[in-house]
Amino acid sequence: MTSAIGTAGPDRRHTAGLTLIELMVALAVVAVLGIISYRAIAAASESRQRVGDEYRRWSDIARFVQMVDTDLLQIAARPAVSENKVSLVLSPAGSAGSGELSFLKLDGARGSARRIGYRLEGTQLILLRWPGTDATSLPTRDVVLDRVKSLHFAMLANDQWSEAWPPAPGGAAQLPAAIEMKLELADAGIVRRLVALR
């Protein structure tokens, strides 16, 4: 009996476990899976950032278009007592390809009107706000949109489009039938908006 137990011992030399090669293979598999997971997480994070940036950009564009709509629908048509108090002025586009639009807007808070305007400077679209109704004082300036290539306004009057307003000195108090805005953006193409005034 003693000899039988003694001979059984050497047959159980191998215990359960991993050899060095198996351990290295397992580590290599874990490392490859880690790299794949890291790349997938990084790609998802970049995609989320890009989608977030595009959403913010289109929100800014939509907010600007809505602001122009609201402002243009509140144009105050008043008789001009001087050249600086014309209700609506569109300076023709110069060599930069963009003009300036300024007009009297009804100010509900004060029950009066004040002059505001839009101008493109470089690639920034500027909102101008004058303290009163004339254009002799300096306006406050706020950047409302960037990465803009060009901004064009056109006025519809008597079935004809014009890129300057007023069309004649005697028609200063008259408003056009509609105003079209054409906004060209470096990253989003061309946005057109038509606002009917009457």
Contact 73, 166 (CB under 8 A): no
Of the two residues 20 and 152, the one the predictor is more confident about is 152
Predicted pLDDT of residue 148: 92
**122 — alpha (psi -120 to 50), left (phi > 0) or beta?**
left
Residue 109: both structure tokens together: 């808070």
Q: How many beta carbons lie within 10 A of that of residue 121, not counting itself? A: 13
Closest by alpha carbon to 125, among 32, 61, 59, 192? Answer: 61
**The overall pTM is greater than 0.85:** no
Which residues lie closer than 8 Å to 168 by C-beta, 6 or more apart? none
Q: pLDDT for 77-120, tens place per residue?
A: 765 544 555 678 887 665 455 678 988 888 766 667 888 999 99
How much is the mean pLDDT over the chain?
Answer: 81
* 3-class DSSP assignment, residue 156: strand
Of the two residues 185 and 22, the one the predictor is more confident about is 185
Q: Scan for tokens 């003694």, then name that residue.
A: 6
What distance in Å separates the CA atoms of residue 198 and residue 195, rounded to the nearest whole number?
9
Predicted pLDDT of residue 173: 56
Q: pLDDT for 143-185, tens place per residue?
A: 999 999 999 999 998 888 988 888 766 555 578 899 999 999 9
Predicted pLDDT of residue 83: 52
